[in-house]
Chain A
Amino acid sequence: MSDEEFLTAYGENKNTVYSVILNYVRNADDASELTQDTFMKLYGYEGEFDSDEHIKAWLIRVAINGCKNFVRSRKHPPGSDVSYEPFSEDKYEFDEIVNKVMALPEKYRIPVHLFYYEEYSIPEIASILGLSEAAVKTRLKRGRDKLRESLRKEDWI
Chain B
Amino acid sequence: MNKYKSAMDTICDNEFAVTGAEMLGIAKSASLQGEIDTVKGVHRGRAAGKVLWIAAACMLVFGTTVSAMGYGPFGEGFRRFFGNDPVTASIIEEGHYGQIGQSVTDGIFTVDFVSVTGDAMYPKLLFDVTVNDEALTSMNSRLRLFAYVMDEDTYRDRRDQYVMWNAYGQKDPDVASLYHVCMDGPGYFLTKDGEVLASIEKISFEFPGYEEIYEYDVDMEYRFSVPDSALKETYIQYYDNMTIPGFHTDYDLYRAEFGAYDSVLVVTYDYIGTELADGRTDFEEVRNLFDSSWQDFSGHFVLSVDGEEYAPLESGWSWCDEEGTFFEPGRCSAWIRFPSIDHGSAESIKLIAGGQEYVLKQEIQ
Contact = CB atoms under 8 A, between A and B. Distances in A.
B3 interface: yes
B11 A72 contact: no
B160 A36 contact: no
A98 B11 contact: yes
Interface string B343-359: 00000000000000000
Given A40-B27, A44-B36, A72-B163, A83 B46 contact: no
B51 A73 contact: yes
Contact of A37 (B44, B48, B162, B317): B44
A69 B43 contact: yes
B285 to A, nearest CB: 6
B15 A18 contact: yes
Interface in A12-58: 14-15, 18-19, 22, 27-29, 31-33, 35-37, 39-45, 47, 58
Interface residues of B, number: 52
B16 A40 contact: no
Interface residues of A, number: 59
A24 to B, nearest CB: 13
Contacts of B176: none
A68 B214 CA distance: 13
A85 B51 contact: no
Interface string A79-107: 11001010100001011011001000000
Given A33-B46, A58-B209, A75-B51, A97 B4 contact: yes
Contacts of B9: 15, 19
B27 A6 contact: yes
Interface stretch (B17-25, B88-96, B129-137): B17-25
Interface of B: 2-16, 18, 20-21, 23-24, 26-28, 30-31, 35-36, 42-44, 46, 48, 50-51, 160-164, 166, 206, 208-213, 284-285, 288, 317, 319
